[in-house]
Amino acid sequence: MPDDERWIDADAGPVVRPYALTRGRTRHTGDSFDLVATVVTTGMRIPDSSFLAPEHLNVLQLAHAPTTVVDIASDVDLPLGVVRILLADLRELGLIVIRAPVTMAERVDKNTLMEVLNGLRGL
Amino acid sequence: MAYAGFEYPGGTARQHRAIKILLAGGFGVGKTTLVGAVSEIKPLRTEELLTEGSLRSDSTVGVEQKTTTTVAMDFGRISLRSDLVLYLFGTPGQQRFWFMWDELAIGALGAVVLADTRRLADSFPAIDYFERRDIPFIVALNNFDGARRYDAEDVRAALDLDPGLPIVHCDARSRDSSKQVLIALVQHVLSSSPDEVPMTRQVL
């Protein structure tokens, strides 16, 4: 360990600039996906040859149960753009699938609107 | 690490339905307060959007207490049912954030333009944006302490809004009042949506 190495805690702020995690990439691979698209793991084994950062593994962990792109971004506390790139990497490896939210394709139908209304009234 | 035992997606698990509602308005108008009052607010960082230059240009005239400005998006989550979640996104009203809106607006249920009657002009860009894209919206007037409570019709005239567009008063600090704002939006969307038979999901 070099002499000048110091321990830096979370209060010091990010030690690694967010886009260093993506190796400088600012655009993700493959099809674009919505902020509220559903993300879930496929159950596939991580290929031995893959290079995954701890952040990739964090994201993967969170997607064991279906969740959304924004929920993941919020939970890992990384900027949305970075999380998108990590998600696209995982998708490319076949480790997760990203599904368009149901409401996207169809606009919100009346039944769902009624459900939302009743849900809000019951809050 | 193996992930055996998890159901393969595309299987029979119930679809998670995510509903997006946008909350637009100028800085300091109470977006964060409203999201926090009605939902489980979560931190959501977007890319660093504000440079020092733009920080200086953000008007705080007429806003007594807000000294810092929210760069991160306000993001709130309300679980209505186990498979139905409402997501609230509070987005700043300035033009330079429109790239964010473009994405948020796709498939959104609708929008709330939160306005401060002392600075009505701040809500012009948001109103223009939603009108042009045909996104259903309502205007909610956040009644700050000490702010004069304007008549909704005066505001309608000042903002040149359609007669059928709901304008509601609210107190963004109050959970119930904020909830009523969301209810007013959903009712507006319901009343303006055609009576078509809801589309059934295609089975592939």
Residue at A43 is within a domain:
yes
- Of the candidates A80, A114, A123, the beta carbon closest to that of B179 is on A123
- Of the candidates A74, A112, A116, the beta carbon closest to that of B43 is on A74
Cβ separation B44–A74 shorter than 8 A: yes
In sequence order, what are the residues at sequence separation of 6 or more whose Cβ sits closer than 8 angstroms to the Cβ of residue B161?
A: B127, B139, B155, B167
Buried b (16+ CB within 10 A) or exposed e, A89-122: bbbebebbbbbebbbbeeebbeebbebbbebbee
Is the predicted pLDDT of residue B152 greater than 50, yes or no?
yes
Kindly report the nearest CA distance between residue A16 and chain B, in angstroms. 15
Residue at A8 is within a domain:
no
A25 touches chain B (CB under 8 A): no
The pLDDT score that the predictor gives to residue B54 is: 43
Give A91's contacts in chain B (Cβ within 8 Å): none
What's the pLDDT band for B96 if we cut at 50, 70, 90? low
* Amino acid at position A43, single letter: G
Percent residues over pLDDT 90 in chain A: 48
Q: How many CB pairs under 8 A join A and B?
A: 140
| Per-residue pLDDT tens over the stretch A53-101 | 999 999 999 999 999 999 999 999 888 888 999 999 999 999 999 998 8
- Cα-based torsion angle of the residue sequence A8, A14, A17, A22 in order, rounded to the nearest 10 degrees: 100
Candidates B12, B34, B44, B204: best to mutate against A (most CBs of A within 10 A) is B44
The pLDDT score that the predictor gives to residue A11 is: 55
- Of the candidates B8, B15, B42, the beta carbon closest to that of A74 is on B42
Question: Mean of the per-residue pLDDT values for chain B?
Answer: 78
> Which residue ranges make up each domain of chain B?
17-46+67-192
The pLDDT score that the predictor gives to residue B83 is: 87
Is the predicted pLDDT of residue B168 greater than 70, yes or no?
yes
Tell which residue, B120, B109, B66, B70, has the closest CA to residue B92: B70
Q: How far apart are the first and last CA of chain B?
A: 32
Is the predicted pLDDT of residue B202 greater than 70, yes or no?
no
Nearest CA in chain A to B47: A79
Is the predicted pLDDT of residue B194 greater than 90, yes or no?
no
Residue at A4 is within a domain:
no
The pLDDT score that the predictor gives to residue B63 is: 46
More confident residue, B49 or A89: A89
| Per-residue pLDDT tens over the stretch B3-32 | 333 444 444 445 678 899 999 988 888 999
* Amino acid at position B93, single letter: G
What is the crossing angle of helices A54-62 and A69-76, to 10°?
Answer: 130
Number of domains, chain A: 1
Cβ separation B45–A79 shorter than 8 A: yes
Q: Which CATH number fits domain B17-46+67-192: 3.40.50.300, 3.20.20.150, 2.40.400.10, 3.40.50.2300?
A: 3.40.50.300
By DSSP bridging, strand B167-170 and strand A67-68 are unpaired
Residue at A7 is within a domain:
no
Give A72's contacts in chain B (Cβ within 8 Å): none
Token couple for B87 = 């997501």
Residue at A81 is within a domain:
yes
Kindly report the nearest CA distance between residue A100 and chain B, in angstroms. 10
Q: What is the pTM of this model?
A: 0.78
- Of the candidates B20, B45, B183, the beta carbon closest to that of A36 is on B20
Lowest mean pLDDT among A104-118, B65-79, B93-107: B65-79
What's the pLDDT band for B65 if we cut at 50, 70, 90? very low
Nearest CA in chain B to A38: B16
The pLDDT score that the predictor gives to residue B68 is: 31
pLDDT, mean of residues A27-48: 88
pLDDT, mean of residues B39-55: 63
How many other β-carbons are positioned within 10 Å of the β-carbon of residue A75? 16
Residue at A22 is within a domain:
yes
The yes/no answer to whether this complex scores an ipTM above 0.85 is no
**Domain containing residue A30:** 14-121
Is the predicted pLDDT of residue A114 greater than 50, yes or no?
yes
What's the pLDDT band for A106 if we cut at 50, 70, 90? low
